[in-house]
Chain A
Amino acid sequence: MATVRKKMHFPLKVALPMVWNYIKSKLKEQIKAVAFIIIYLVAFKLIVLQSAPENAFQVAFGVGMVVLGLAMFLEGLFLGLMPLGDRVGVQLPKKTNIWVIMFFGLLLGFGATLAEPSISTLRLAGEGVTPWATPLLYRFLELETNYLVWAVGAGVGVAVACGMARFYFGIGLKPFIYILVPILLVISCYFSFDENLKYIINLAWDTGGVTTGPVTVPLVLAMGIGISKASGKKNSAAASGLGVVTLASLFPVLGVFAVALYLNSSTPKPMTEIEFFSEAYRPKAIQMLGSEDALRAIAFQRGSSAARISYYGDLEEYKKVILSLVDDRKNSKKFLGNLSLFEWMNRKANEEEKKIISERFAEKLEEFNSSSKKFQTKDSKDFKANQPNSTIETSEKGWFVIFAKEFRAAIFAVVPLVLLLLVVLVFLLKDKLKRADESILGISLSLIGMAILTTGIQLGLSSLGDQIGRTLPMVYKTEAQETGRFLFKNFNKDAMVSAYNHRGQLNKYFYVVDDSNNIKAVPFDEKRYDKTTGNYEYVRTTEVLWTAKLSLLGIALVCIFAFGMGYGSTIAEPALNALGITIEEMTVGTVKRSKVVGTVSIGVGTGLLVGVCRLILDIPACWLLVPGYLALLVMTYYSDEEFTGLAWDSGGVTTGPITVPLVLAMGLGIGGGLNVIDGFGIVSMASLFPILTMLAFGIRIRRRQNSHLIDTEEANDGK
């Protein structure tokens, strides 16, 4: 055995600058990675939306945390997680057989899916899914969520097992693609003819994109490289260590399709909400949702007023319930769930309901402050609680609370996987870590880094993205968005002023003072004035940004925004950077990391753009998926084996901790503005297009590298 090596001791004076330079270089790298998205978001907010970022201090603090978290997490990957995966990968084929390896892969894939709760983010995108319009989708996302988790988990497990077997036997990735992708496309086409199943297509393809998270990808990648390093019989290029991520994005789609088929037979067909909430259907509806309370909550949270009237049957009784919402705030949770009354009023209520509520509010306000005739929010705490202040909410929660929560999530994402690998390494393979101190440091770094990163994203990036996402529909909607409604009792007509517009028409205005004491002139709307009671209902709206009819420009702006978001957030994505560095090493620097990251980012940007356009123009999913993936098949045929794995893998790693919250904020904003059923389909586009750009990039590189070779060969033929 080797002798214990003497350790050199450095005085602090030498060691500190070394550590400092090291930290500085790592931070600089991440600042570069994050810079684009931050500048882009702030610029978009300032120039297009013409308002300064809110909570600037908190956002800046969050961005700082993102940089620090990214640097720590990435370094942790390279020091701890990836060497661990590599070590296990190298030892597995030596000391066990293929069945153990495949079983281990299955376990690892399944465990990774459970550990990285990316599926829950999908549920966020399905907030507007209803049990009447899309019953199957609703069952998947809200009722039998375990099915989804199991389908995806099994998919990823099978994928990792297949991937490991591929490396062991030296099978190329191409055959898997040629078989799996057409099957998935045919099923998608078949599904699009069924009124229930067609809503599953987007969800299924999206799960393929989100399953592979920032911990799983590098770990599986390193393990694959390890296994292919430890040899066997091989057809040289086939087993490079890449390709597992690809399979892990394709198999879950198949899994979701299978479960959808199984569930579909026991799922009712789509119906109107009036039918769904009618007395006649009540027993079945309760059976589906579990309880009467759940059914009622659904009517409030996801239905329109027609649903609620249908549920109560009687209009008077329904009115009483609405009034009780205002009076008994605590009880309203049972009806509205996490929505505040204001949010509910804004999103779900119709004119009638809004009127009832705002009248009731005004009454309460009068009781509270009878002397004031003019509306003043400042006096009323009660009212303020109903303002849309989600950003304030997060800051009130405090960053430490968020950090503690994210830290728990990070432990859950990192520790079980690491433990699984360690147990296998120590007990099954009877081996130990090559550099234990380094690995422990790396694993702790990735753990803390991930917690800091996700906290920073919540505080900084996604709050910034949210500010834009929420207001984004403004740019393509020509009418103003409503943000609040207030009832002015005994409206004094004398307070009105008259003003001419440029066409010489005389209009009536009155002044309103807002929270920050800014006076604003508002046009007087005759329809909102009730002559009999003397009440005026004031509807607060956003500023209309583009006064002329510019909805086409608006859509173009949304597209530019989507592209920039995708591009910017993907550049900073840690799993992609890990893949990029691995690829650069594998190709001895002929494929540069920056080129890989850039190409993939352009692909994600394009994918988001297309996905958003799909939402706005309401194009069926199949119309994009089928031609898109067919194009991929053709390009795969023309690219060589080495680049195939590389390109397809980069499609799977794109959706990570930075992209998902930002993209979701945007998808929800746009989807909410359009009243679409669900915001699915964006992620699947964001995984399709990077493959496309990467394959194109690979074919171009190869052609260029071979250019002088081909020339000489042709010259020889001519001799």
Chain B
Amino acid sequence: MENKDFIEVSRITLFVHHGLISSALELLKNIGVYNVLLETARTARLRIKNTLLDLLGLSDPIEDSLTDIVRIIVKPEDSEKIVTYLIEKLDLKTAGRGAVYVQNLQELSNRTLPSINLEHHSKVTLLHDLTLITGIQSISGSGESISKVALKLGAGVPTVSLGKGTGIRDRLGLLRITISPEKELTYLLVPSFDANGLQNLLIEKGKLNRPGGGFMYQTPVKFGLADTQLRIGYQTHAASLEQVIAAIDEIKKDTAWRKRIFDNYGDGGLPHKTNYTHKEISFICPVEHSDDYIHAAMDSGAAGATMTIMRSLSLKEEDSYEVNNFENAIMCVKKEDENKVIEAILKTSEEKKETDWMIQKIPASSIYATYRKK
């Protein structure tokens, strides 16, 4: 293990409507991707209705649908053809079916990267100027959920998964039960130009700036395709505004044309400012195994971690998949602490003699955390 180093890989993340998951897995199996990490999430959209209840403001305008988050790790050179293949086969261009994006990151694991058996040339246009905003928020918090705010701001279609937070909570003794560990992780794929402005707006409107409000940061996206179906239901035009935007995106091949003006919030029309002061470290291991690793990481500088449950599928068999439950511990650490944290994790794994895990790291910028600002 010591001899092994981090290697450059591409992580393809596919948000796909729950009704399409089996065909998505089938497609991956066909091209030779056998190891898949699967997470259950929900996608929130605004439902536009035209009933009396809506006029009175009584009905809930947010409609959730089950979404699966599929994550695969491939060689960087393979990523584009896989993504375009998935977009075509799953018809992701049609709004409401899903989104996909690629992030380049460094990985350390015992798994071998799949050799892709695919010749695919496609004219699908991918957007190269996207950024992923990740928001982590207490469910019982007082503010409005990030996903709702994002929808109301037209920022994009949020995908939400559930996790459990550890951090100061673990140091409180029994008093910890008064703080709920349940967290909502919101993923939002936005144009890079708008990223900072939108993030500031989200923090302000979602009241993340209150104590215990939450945590938000950006990670770079190589390229991808966002789901544009913000609204469903009653429609008064032949094409929805979202469809029009998607069409123009495709013609222009970027999102720069729809740069927004944020009075005091954004970069003032300047190119996307990033300050990669942090690293997002994901530590993925079998379920119920992460505790010691997280504690080790926290002792060497990580402020806290958010854990989500994932299923690791191996797709080799015919009808049934072998399923193993994994935990994904997401930590944002300062760049200077990065090596210390990773060393601590590696040391723990040696002590525990465990090898079935992965560490992925990617630069993170524009970290916003309430408990840091005093």
Residue ranges of A at the interface with B (Cβ–Cβ < 8 Å): 1-3, 5-8, 10, 15, 18-19, 21-22, 25, 75, 79, 90, 170, 229-236, 434, 437-438, 441, 585-590, 704-709, 712, 715-716
Contact = CB atoms under 8 A, between A and B. Distances in A.
Contacts of A704: 63
Given A589-B162, A705-B66, A712 B97 contact: yes
Contact of B287 (A2, A18, A170, A229): A229
Most buried by B among A21, A235, A589: A589
Contacts of A170: 320
Given A6-B171, A8-B171, A712-B91, A705 B319 contact: no
Contacts of A2: 291-292, 295-296, 299, 348
Most buried by B among A7, A230, A590: A590
B177 A589 contact: no
Most buried by B among A90, A170, A437, A705: A705
A2 B178 CA distance: 25
Given A3-B299, A712-B97, 13 more contacts: A2-B348, A5-B299, A7-B172, A10-B175, A19-B175, A170-B320, A230-B287, A234-B320, A235-B319, A235-B320, A588-B161, A590-B66, A709-B96
Contacts of A75: 177
A698 to B, nearest CB: 12
B97 to A, nearest CB: 7
Interface stretch (B15-23, B194-202, B331-339, B358-366): B15-23
Interface string B5-17: 0000000000001
Interface string B77-96: 00000000000000100101
B42 A588 contact: yes
B168 A8 contact: yes
A709 B171 contact: no
Interface residues of B, number: 50
A54 to B, nearest CB: 39
A660 B321 CA distance: 43
Nearest to B288: A90
Nearest to B161: A588
B324 A231 contact: yes
Contacts of B170: 5
A8 B320 CA distance: 48
B41 A8 contact: no
Nearest to A441: B174
A236 B96 CA distance: 23
Contacts of B325: 229-231
Nearest to A91: B288
Contacts of B136: none
B246 to A, nearest CB: 13
B174 A590 contact: no
B321 A234 contact: yes
A441 B296 CA distance: 27
Nearest to A22: B178
A589 B42 contact: yes
A697 to B, nearest CB: 15
A1 B351 contact: yes
Contacts of B370: none
Contacts of A5: 170-171, 295, 298-299
A590 B323 contact: no
Contacts of A585: 162
A283 to B, nearest CB: 65
Nearest to A3: B299
A26 to B, nearest CB: 10
